[in-house]
Amino acid sequence: DAGVIQSPRHEVTEMGQEVTLRCKPISGHNSLFWYRQTMMRGLELLIYFNNNVPIDDSGMPEDRFSAKMPNASFSTLKIQPSEPRDSAVYFCASKMAGQNQPQHFGDGTRLSIL
Amino acid sequence: ILNVEQSPQSLHVQEGDSTNFTCSFPSSNFYALHWYRWETAKSPEALFVMTLNGDEKKKGRISATLNTKEGYSYLYIKGSQPEDSATYLCATNYGGSQGNLIFGKGTKLSVKP
């Protein structure tokens, strides 16, 4: 099992540019989560999908952030336009159905907006 | 607003010491309590998921207990080793089995050899 795969691992870009983060969940998992980790706020949920459908996007900070899950094996988190305060580590996680199931995290994307 | 509190924020122990830390959460509408281990520069790794009051789980030297009536869980590490150094996160979910997790800020454990 390859685990949750995120790309890129690191991204450095100038403010105003569009940033796209990618995630491939574990095969057979039906829920996918996008998190942001910062020193100030810790690990905070941005959005999660169940069976490819967005369920709760209340954590998405602004309209500049958007996420899609076109199929069961792929999701993107897009920031347009990016700002320096978006710099953080972004994690994707997936899980199987059921409240007893843990979330499995990818290695994260470290994003730096200059 | 669901709030998950962890204490202490950080902990420094000597190799061989046993230690424990606490996770507090609202006891109403409880579904499950998760513990994760998060090493620096890596991603969180699931340790335990507990759902029933009185649950106890164990993995090697690490164990956890759950009290859903009073809303707390303890994580114990017996005979700490330097490789146990990590941040330990707890999280609880609401909204049923499809709900997301609300994470505490974690307890950062440092074990000195």
The tens digit of pLDDT for each residue in B20-54 reads 999 999 888 788 999 999 998 889 999 999 999 99
What does the DSSP 8-state code read for residue A25?
P
Q: How confident is the model at residue A82 (pLDDT cuts 50, 70, 90)?
A: very high
Residue B88: per-residue pLDDT? 97
Q: Nearest CA of chain A to the CA of B87: how many Å?
A: 11
> Does residue B4 contact residue B101 with C-beta atoms inside 8 Å?
no
Touching check for A58 and chain B: CB below 8 Å? no
Report the pLDDT value the prediction gives residue A98, as an integer from 0 to 100: 81
* Min Cα separation A64/chain B (Å): 22
CA angle B36, B68, B1 (to 5 degrees): 75
Residue A2 has a pLDDT of 79
B31 lies within 8 A of chain A by CB:
yes
Mean pLDDT score, A59-86: 95
Question: How far is B14 from chain A, CA to nearest CA, in Å?
Answer: 26
Q: Which of A10, A29, A90, A103 is the best substitution to test chain B (most B C-beta atoms within 10 A)? A: A103
For residue A97, count other CB atoms closer than 10 A to its CB.
Answer: 14
What are the tens digits of pLDDT across the range B72-100? 999 999 999 999 999 999 999 865 555 67
Average pLDDT, chain A: 93
> Which segments within A39-114 are labelled E, that is strand?
42-50, 53-56, 65-71, 74-79, 88-95, 104-105, 109-113
For A42, the closest of B36, B101, B105 (CB atoms) is B105
**Predicted confidence band of residue B67 (pLDDT cuts 50, 70, 90):** very high
Encoded tokens for B32: 């499950």
